[in-house]
Amino acid sequence: MYFHNKQHLAALIPVGPALALNTLRWGDEVRDFSEFKFSDEDTKKAGVTPKELDMAKRLIEDITRT
């Protein structure tokens, strides 16, 4: 299987009535959790406005209703 012109190993796994394609990773492709940089959990410190937060909540509500 090719993604972005690079070959990847994948497993096709039955999940209920569907099939899921799970991309497998080689050891050198897996990064340690400590390498990831996450933004502050405080929305104000992260620069998220109340209006943006409200819009995100409405989008999530709309998506989960369908």
CA distance 58 to 13: 33
CA distance 35 to 48: 24
Domain chopping of the chain, boundaries: 2-26+42-65
Under 8 Å between Cβ of 12 and 24: no
pTM (predicted TM-score) = 0.39
The tens digit of pLDDT for each residue in 7-25 reads 778 899 999 889 999 888 8
CA distance 44 to 52: 11
Whole-number pLDDT of residue 14: 93
**C-alpha 38: how far from its chain's center?**
14
Whole-number pLDDT of residue 45: 80
The pair of three-digit structure tokens given for residue 60, joined into one six-digit string = 């999530």
